[in-house]
Amino acid sequence: MTAQTTPQHPPPLCFYYHGKPLHVLHHHGEWWLHSGDVLAVTGRRLGNRLQQLLAADPSRENTAETEDIKEYWPATALLRALRRSGKPLARQLRDWLNMQLLPALEQLPPSAPRWEQALALAAEAGVQVSHAVLQAVLMQGARWQHSHWLLTLDYTPDHPLRHAHGRLLGLNSKATPLQALAQQIATAQGIAADNGELLGLATACHQQLRGRLQRQARRMSSSG
């Protein structure tokens, strides 16, 4: 199983306001709310007013607009815009942010985004494996226990679905983790490989180790 994660920022947290998702991102010590989610919960008229107020907010000058968070609004600026609006919908959202969401976010540990990411990946892995085992038992009968799969997981905050997604591939051979390969080769049974294949494997390992040691020696000589 391989997990690939290359986000520029920690994954956004997802909350629900009146049944609608509201994604929140922590950036440079401040909470940012996804503008599209805010517009979805406020409606078109109030949303247009908020966009006008936020565009004229002086605190948004020189913000990290170029750092791939253009779709998010700072919570502090959004609260000021909601306060200036004065509409009932704006007051309800402002009260929810002030009294429920933001106080709860301040109590989160620093690793909360990573915890949510890990939970999402684990849930997706469980779904993929459950489907694979179900199909194997129903379709392959008594041979299901000889099936092997490769599970690839990914979690990127800019993914359209904004959650973990994965793909399960059936394999004709067993996949062995790298850290367990040496132990498996050293056993009495070994692996199903002839002398030439084992020699090629040993040669490749020596080349990798030699290259790594040479790079380390160059770094030490240059730093000295």
Structure tokens at 192: 């199903």
Q: Is 4 contained in some domain?
A: no
Mean pLDDT of the region 121-149: 75
pLDDT beyond 50 at 45:
yes
Based on the fold, state whether residues 37 and 103 are members of the same structural domain: yes
Q: Is 160 contained in some domain?
A: yes
Q: Would you state the pLDDT for residue 1? A: 47
Based on the fold, state whether residues 103 and 142 are members of the same structural domain: no
Q: Number of folded domains in the chain?
A: 3
CA 214 – CA 220 distance, rounded (Å):
10
Residue type, 198: L
pTM above 0.95, yes or no: no
Query: Which one of 110, 128, 163 terminates a domain?
Result: 110
Q: Would you state the pLDDT for residue 152? A: 79
CA 4 – CA 93 distance, rounded (Å):
36
Q: Is 28 contained in some domain?
A: yes
Q: At what angle do helices 44-55 and 75-85 cross, to 10 degrees?
A: 120
Based on the fold, state whether residues 102 and 29 are members of the same structural domain: yes
CA 13 – CA 24 distance, rounded (Å):
5
Q: Would you state the pLDDT for residue 94? A: 92
pLDDT beyond 70 at 78:
yes
Q: Would you state the pLDDT for residue 119? A: 73
Residue ranges in the chain assigned as alpha helix (H):
35-42, 44-55, 75-85, 88-96, 102-106, 112-140, 178-186, 195-223
Res. 38 pLDDT band, cuts 50 70 90? very high
Domain encompassing residue 191: 178-223
Mean pLDDT of the region 106-118: 67
Structure tokens at 59: 């605190």
Res. 162 pLDDT band, cuts 50 70 90? low
Based on the fold, state whether residues 102 and 122 are members of the same structural domain: no
